[in-house]
Amino acid sequence: MTGPDNELMVERKGYLGIIQLNRPRALNSLNLNMVHHMREALATFADDPEITSVIVAGEGGRAFCAGGDIRIIHDLGKANDPDVSRFWREEFPLNYTIAHYPKPYIALMDGIVMGGGVGLSAHGAFRVVTETTRLAMPETGIGYFPDVGVSWLLPKAPGEIGTWMGLTGNEVNAADAIFAGLADVHVPSERLEELTKAISALGPSHVHKGIEMLLAQFSTPPAPGMFETGRELIDAVFSHNTVEEIIATLKARDDAFSQTTLQTLQKRSPTSLKITLRMLRLARDSSGLIECLEREFAAGLEVLKGYDFYEGVRAAIIDKDRNPQWQPAMLSDVTNEDIVRYFGQNPHPVFASHRL
């Protein structure tokens, strides 16, 4: 079975259910129909006794999933179309479903894995990265913030690794994705097809253990990342609870990493930086994934009422001048009162039907 226009390919191979994101020209970015049909496919596989596990992958070799289709979200938001919130109302429960899926859920994170792509993979039971993996939550660069439940995951990374990832939006490789707890094992991309075939032969007896054994068999050491050696510096800088303190600490240092990081943060939306840091700090004391997703949902609706998201998408996707003019443009002009409204009570919880 397939989704509309074959944007989502769903098939069975032996005991395995396979979901293939099939928008390679758009780097497999998600739209509402893909999310809807993926939820349907997962429900079908969960109820099928002949299916013992599910693999999710991206078509085309360049990307697992580059995230939600922000051009569509931009246009719907500009038009005040209710479908813009409907996308998140379907996407966020999908992230929750993945996190609590009753059968082994295996994400093949080959190529670009960004934004919503992290939501489709990092919540899964088995997260496989390759030598081509480029993982990021780049939302502060488009006037938004890390969502899809990643505000629940990033604070669980060692030290302040998650804070660095959320604020800078920088890409990391396979080793760093594993170090941050967003992936489990590195497998060469040329062996993914062979791995898929081997998993498809695993029947219902001890399937979870069988997958673990196969991943150990296929895994190889990834190329070195930066987190293992750079964590001490990241922790020292990003342990502060205000963006202003983080910036001041970076300015006081003269090493190359600090100066590069400073330049990166100075290009991000000041409002998004403050929303993101508060989101990550609040998540530390949250009860679970649902609470974080609902907080993200409420903040996302507020972002659509503002300026920076539309300006960020314009600069990155529409005009592609890479020169967003944020409003406010300075951190000092973003007050606590400005940020509080993103964290108010959501009158229409996206997870009302999921509560026990």
Q: Count Cα atoms within 13 angstroms, Cβ side, for 185.
A: 21
Residue tagged active-site, from 59, 139, 176, 184? 139
| Number of neighbouring beta carbons within 10 Å of residue 163 | 24
Is 162 tagged catalytic? no
> Is 308:326 a contact under the CB 8 Å cutoff?
yes
Q: Cis peptide before 328, with omega less than 30 degrees from 0?
A: yes
Q: Which of 350, 352, 317 is nearest to 143 (CA)?
A: 317
344: annotated active-site residue: no
Question: 343: how many CB neighbours lie within 10 A of its CB?
Answer: 15
User: Is 350:89 a contact under the CB 8 Å cutoff?
Assistant: yes
Residue 139 annotated in active site: yes
- 225 CA to centre of own chain: 19
User: Does 288 participate in catalysis according to the annotation?
Assistant: no
Q: What is the three-class DSSP state of 196?
A: helix
DSSP string covering 61-129 = SSEEE--B-HHHHHHHHHTT-THHHHHHHHHHHHHHHHHT-SS-EEEEE-SEEETHHHHHHTTSSEEEE
The residue annotated as part of the active site, out of 90, 91, 110, 147, is 147
The answer to whether 164 touches 238, Cβ cutoff 8 Å, is yes
The answer to whether the CB of 171 falls within 8 A of the CB of 115 is no
Strand partners, 10: 19
- Residue from 9, 31, 33 nearest 22 by CA: 9
Identify the active-site residue in 58, 67, 111, 116.
Answer: 116
Tell me the helix, strand and coil percentages in the chain, rounded to 5.
Answer: 55, 10, 35
Per the residue annotation, which of 3, 58, 68, 210 is the catalytic one? 68
SS (H, E, C) 206-265: CHHHHHHHHHHHHCCCCCCCCHHHHHHHHHHHHCCCCHHHHHHHHHCCCCHHHHHHHHHH
Question: Which residue numbers are catalytic?
Answer: 68, 116, 139, 147
